[in-house]
Chain A
Amino acid sequence: MDRARITDLYFAEARSKLIDLAAFLDRVERSEGADDFRMKSLRAALKELGTPGPERTKKILLLLSDPTTEPIAQAGGKSASGAWPGY
């Protein structure tokens, strides 16, 4: 499928998600307090998003992942936050 057709198919959806992301960042910055590790990772991912090159999705998923290899001693809870606190 050529670029024009892909753009036709997904531009409106991507534009909508982009505006939602901008609104989220505005909302965060209007609020009181400091960024936590999730926002730090998100801001780093946004830089990656603007970097030309292939596999942006994979690079951003890796940036948000725990890169360590050793099992943890014990699971403290069951849920995931979406970003690695050690980033």
Chain B
Amino acid sequence: MRYIEPHAHMVSRVTDDYSAMVTAGCRAVCEPAFWAGFDRSSAQGFYDYFCQLTDYEPRRAAQFGLPHYSWLCLNPKESENTSLADEVLAMIPSFLDRPNVLGIGEIGLNKNSRNEIRVLEKHVDLAVRHKQMILVHTPHLEDKLKGTRLIVDLLKRNPGIDPGRVIIDHVEEHTVDIVLDAGFWAGITLYPQSKCSPSRAIDMVEIYGAQRLWLNCACDWGHSDPLAVPKTAIEMKKRGHGEAAIDRLIYGNPLRFLSQNPKFRVDKNDRETSSDAAQK
């Protein structure tokens, strides 16, 4: 088995997790910027975090032969502090040329407030100005439906947005069609309690098709499992899905989306077979 983990917060995981992911067949890991579990007190805190995501963490992953990529932003949970958000937004362009930065993310909404929407609009404008791909976080639980609708409307209003270069993450059964019908990619996050279970994720793949879907573990400091994607692949096999279909979903699809940024590369030994997986 081989797979790409397109969404994992490795800064909050232990080294053994890297070892387990590589052992399970992980070929690359992507880390969107997120909330630290507490509000940062200054833009300097974000500067240090962005250095961690673009310098230290790739070196830690490289010890296991695992390519590490990142996405940069201020998370919507910190968007009520609009002056801090403006300072962080002004800093992001200086990091965009770093070799492992794939785009702007995970931006989005948390409680669907006016300030969150203002900061989201600024992130989207920044991405459009700098021709960056976008990774979007949708809100939790009861706030997800409303937040997904607001996010999709906001993105559709921006003429600079190419939906094929935007992934809207954490979809569930009540939001997946909103995202796919608007032409965006959709991410399914596999969590032990909230978001989606492996069996429900496979249901959605069977119902909606796998053309613009990816699976991710979004592991962080909360209840989460860095091996959720390969475990779901094993469940797909039990459900009767063939090896090729599983490979397309957990390797080919993230490869196809992420390769829109030429910085994204997989190991040369995988490259020989990757074009098939990405095109089917």
Contacts and interface: CB of A to CB of B under 8 A. Distances in A.
A62 B145 contact: yes
A84 B145 CA distance: 11
Nearest to A85: B142
Contacts of B5: none
A73 B239 contact: no
Contacts of B142: 64-66, 80-84
B200 A57 contact: yes
Contacts, number: 80
Interface stretch (B11-19, B110-118, B126-134, B226-234): B110-118
B112 A71 contact: yes
B193 to A, nearest CB: 10
B221 to A, nearest CB: 14
B137 interface: no
Q: Which secondary structure dominates where chain A touches chain B?
A: loop
A31 interface: no
A65 B174 contact: yes
How many residues of A sit at the interface, in one of the four size bands?
Answer: 20 to 34
B218 to A, nearest CB: 15
Contacts of B172: 61
A58 interface: yes
Contact of A74 (B115, B144, B150): B115
A83 B194 CA distance: 12
Contacts of B80: 74-75
Contacts of B173: 55, 57-58, 61
Which one of B142, B149, B150, B173 has the highest number of Cβ atoms from chain A below 10 Å of its Cβ?
B142
Nearest to B177: A58
Contacts of B200: 57
A83 B139 CA distance: 13
B114 A72 contact: yes
Contacts of A57: 173, 200, 203
A80 B140 contact: yes
Given A62-B174, A68-B146, A77-B111, 5 more contacts: A58-B173, A65-B174, A66-B145, A78-B35, A80-B139
Give me the 10 closest cross-chain CB pairs, A-B, nearest first: A75-B111, A65-B145, A80-B141, A61-B174, A80-B140, A75-B113, A58-B173, A57-B173, A84-B142, A82-B141
